[in-house]
A and B are shown apart, each in its own frame.
Chain A
Amino acid sequence: MKRLLSVVFFTFIITMGCAQDNPPFIETPTALNYTYETVVDGIEIPWGMAFIQANDFLVTEKSGILYRVKDGVKSSVDGLPEIYVRGQGGLLDVALHPDFSNNNIIYMTLSANTEEDDEGGNTSLYCAKLNGTSLEEVKLLYKATPNTKKGQHWGSRIVFDQEGHVYFSIGDRGDRDVNPQDVTRDGGKIYRLNLDGSIPKDNPFVGQENAKEAIFSYGHRNPQGMTVHPKTGQVWENEHGPQGGDEINIIQSGVNFGWPVITYGINYSGTPITDKTSMPNMAQPFYYWVPSIAPSGMAFSSSGVYEDWKEDLFVGSLKFEYLERLIIENDKVVKREKVLDKIGRVRNVVEGTDGYLYLAVEGKGILKIVPNK
C-alpha cells in the first residue's frame, strides 16, 4: 500500500511538473556511445577556454588565474591586469584573435575596477599579446561603468564574426530595473567592437544621444554562453533567467530581448516579476528553459567527429550538472537530452581545434568527450 501511495504521489509530482515545464522535456538516453577523459584537473572554477591546438590551450580560473595547458600540464600565465574578484565576478572568458597564429593576440573579459575608486567593479574587455606564458602589451578595450558592489551578473563570453568584429556580453549587474532597457547605460547588453577596440560605424546606436555606442543588442539578464552558428554565421547566446526562463537567443543588431519587461521566469522568492511574456518590439527567445537549468557555455558540434551528434547544440547546466544536447530542426528545438549526467557543474563547453567537445567542470577541470572504446 505504501508503495502504491508513493507511486501515485510520484506520478502526481511528475504531472504537476510537466504542466508548467516548457517542451520538449529533457530525456536521458538509454545508451550513450560516448564517455570522457580528463585532460587537466585541479581547477576550481574553470570559466573560459581557448584552443591554440588540441594539446595546447588556455583556461581561465575565475579566482584570477590564466592557465596555459600543454599536453595536460598547466602553467600560470603572468602579466594579467588587476582583477576585482567579488560575487560572481572574477576572470571570466578568454578567446583567440581570429588571426592569432600570426599576431598572438588574445582577448579576455574580467571584473575590474580601473578607476581605483571605492565603488566596486564592472566587466571589462582586454586584449594582450601571449608570449609563451606571459602577457605583453595588455590593453583595456572596454570598461563598463559605473562600478557597483553588487555581486551578480557580470556575464561574460567573447566571440568573433567573419567580418572583423569582437562580441562580448555583460549581465545586468544586479540592477535589472535600471540597466538592461537603457542604452545609455552599461549592463544587460551584448557589445560589438572592431578587433582593435574601436566602435564599428554601423553599430545600431551610433549617433544616438548619450548612447553607449558599443551596444549591439540589449534587454539581457546574464549571458554566459555565446557561440557562432557554423553555417549561418549568426551569434547565438544563452542567458540565465530568474527562476524559470533561461533563454537561447539569436543576436541581431539593435534588438531588445525584453529583460525585465518580459520574461518566462519569476523571482527566487516565488513572486512574479511581470505577467508579460511578450511585447511588441521585444524579441521572443529562440527557446526558453522552464525549469531553469542555469545554462553556461554553448557550442555547436560541427566537426562530424561524433556520428550521433552532427550539428547539434550543446549547453552546460550548472544546476543539474550535465551537458545538455539540443536537437534543432526547422528552427525549433525538437529534442533535449542529458549527456554525462551528474558530471558536476558544467561551466563551459567548446569545440576544440580537433573537433572534439571539451567541457569545463567546476571542482574538476577540463574533460574531453570521446567515443566509447
Chain B
Amino acid sequence: MKIFLASYLLLVLFLAGGMFANKTKEQSIEDGQEIYQDFCVQCHLADGTGVSGVFPPLKASDYLFENIEKSIAGIKYGLKGKITVNEEDYDGVMLNQGLEEEEIADVMNYILNSWGNSHEEQITTEQVVEIPKSVLE
C-alpha cells in the first residue's frame, strides 16, 4: 500500500509537472524576448528604459522588482492609475494585451533578466495562472 501511495504521488507530481511543461529559464527568456519585441517594445523601448514620465522603465525598475506579482497581474489584466517608478510618477494605462499565461511567464523572465536586470527565481506558467486580479487592488 505504501509503495502504491508513493508511486501514485510520484505519478501525480510528474503529470502536474508535465502539464506546465517546465521549460528551462533560458528557453523562457528566449521566448519572452520574441513576445517583448511584439507587444512591449513600442512603449518600453528595446533597451527597457521607457519614456520618462510617460512609459515607465523596466530596466533597473524599483517598482518591477518590489512588485513582481502586481507586475504579472498588470500584464495579465491591464494596469491603470498612478504608480511611482524610480521616484517618478506615472499615471497611464497599460492595456491587457491578450497574452497567454505561458507567454506572460516568458516575457516576465525576459524583462527580469535583461539590460542588467537579474532575478534568480524563474516565473512559471503555474504562477501566472494563479495570480488573481485582486492583487491590483
A-side interface residues toward B, CB under 8 Å?
A: 44-45, 62-63, 84-87, 89, 150-152, 174, 268-269, 362-363
Contact = CB atoms under 8 A, between A and B. Distances in A.
Contact of B38 (A45, A150, A363): A150
Interface size range on B against A: 10 to 19
A87 B93 contact: no
Interface of B: 38-39, 41-42, 45-46, 92-93, 95-99
Contacts of A86: 97-99
B39 A363 contact: no
Nearest to B42: A268
A268 B37 CA distance: 10
B36 to A, nearest CB: 11
Contacts of A152: 38
A269 B36 CA distance: 13
Contacts of B99: 86
A85 B41 contact: no
> Mostly helix, strand, loop or mixed at chain A's interface?
loop
A87 B38 contact: yes
B54 to A, nearest CB: 9
B39 A268 contact: no
Given A86-B98, A87-B98, A44 B93 contact: yes
Contacts, number: 32
B38 A151 contact: yes
Given A87-B39, A151-B38, A362-B93, 17 more contacts: A44-B95, A45-B95, A62-B95, A63-B95, A63-B96, A85-B96, A87-B38, A87-B97, A150-B38, A151-B39, A151-B97, A151-B98, A174-B38, A268-B41, A268-B45, A363-B92, A363-B93
A150 B103 CA distance: 12
A23 B133 CA distance: 48
A300 to B, nearest CB: 29
A89 B96 CA distance: 11
20 contacts: A44-B93, A45-B95, A63-B95, A63-B96, A84-B98, A85-B96, A85-B98, A86-B97, A86-B98, A87-B38, A87-B39, A151-B38, A151-B39, A151-B98, A152-B38, A268-B41, A268-B46, A269-B46, A362-B93, A363-B92
B30 to A, nearest CB: 16
Nearest to A84: B98
Contacts of A174: 38
A363 B81 CA distance: 11
A204 B96 CA distance: 39
A62 B93 CA distance: 14
A151 B107 CA distance: 14
A305 B41 CA distance: 41
A353 B42 CA distance: 35
A187 to B, nearest CB: 15
A295 to B, nearest CB: 15
B76 to A, nearest CB: 13
Nearest to B100: A149
A62 B46 CA distance: 25
Contacts of A44: 93, 95
